[in-house]
Amino acid sequence: MKSKLLPILLVMLILLNGVLIFMLIKKTHKNVAQNQERTFLANQLEFTEEQQIKFIHLDELHREAMRALEEQTRRHKDLLFHSFSDDAVNIDSLSQIIGKINGEKEVEVFRFFKSVREICTVEQQEKFDTIIEKALKGGQNGPPREGMNHPPMREGMPPPPPR
């Protein structure tokens, strides 16, 4: 009995490992998440084919610009955190540069959304504004997730502690 079961289990384990390796190489779970992220606005705004083509082009340009800014931030942070023993490095200057790059990232995000809004019809612009407003407010008004901010306090005194 044991001698017949062992080869079967071994084959099953090899097959499972093969599937896991395939998933890691293809990273299909990441592709699905990125695709959902990328198409969220297009789906919500019900873009036409032409609008979707323009949106994909804008999205690719935006991602390229953000990657370049992220790379700059990473290089400057590496310089900053590798300078513990180097007194010649101007920490204030590096931190200002990092802050400036972060500001450029915020401007890039704004430009991207402004460009997306410009390809929308008037009705789509109204939907777009609502989506952005919800995103700025933090989405849905549900209970905070672990590690997130708590809801604002109500006016008046807090309830007395339980006894």
> Domain count of the chain?
1
Positions in the chain whose pLDDT score sits under 70: 1-2, 27-37, 139-163
In a domain, 160, yes or no: no
Domain that holds residue 73: 21-134
User: For residue 61, what pLDDT is reported?
Assistant: 95
Distance between CA atoms of 40 and 25, rounded to whole angstroms? 26
Distance between CA atoms of 132 and 111, rounded to whole angstroms? 13
Which helix (DSSP H) or strand (DSSP E) does residue 86 occupy? none
In a domain, 3, yes or no: no
User: For residue 62, what pLDDT is reported?
Assistant: 95
User: For residue 110, what pLDDT is reported?
Assistant: 94
Neighbours of 88 (CB within 10 A): 5
In a domain, 64, yes or no: yes
Is the full-model pTM beyond 0.85?
Answer: no
In a domain, 93, yes or no: yes
Task: Calculate the alpha carbon distances from 109 to 4, 105, 133, 134 in Å.
Answer: 61, 6, 15, 16
Q: Is 36 left (phi over 0), alpha (psi -120 to 50) or beta?
A: alpha
* CATH, residue 81: 1.20.120.1490
Distance between CA atoms of 156 and 128, rounded to whole angstroms? 36
Residue range 127-162, pLDDT digits in tens: 999 999 988 887 555 445 555 555 555 555 556 666
User: For residue 26, what pLDDT is reported?
Assistant: 75
In a domain, 77, yes or no: yes
Task: Calculate the alpha carbon distances from 81 to 93, 97, 108 in Å.
Answer: 13, 14, 26
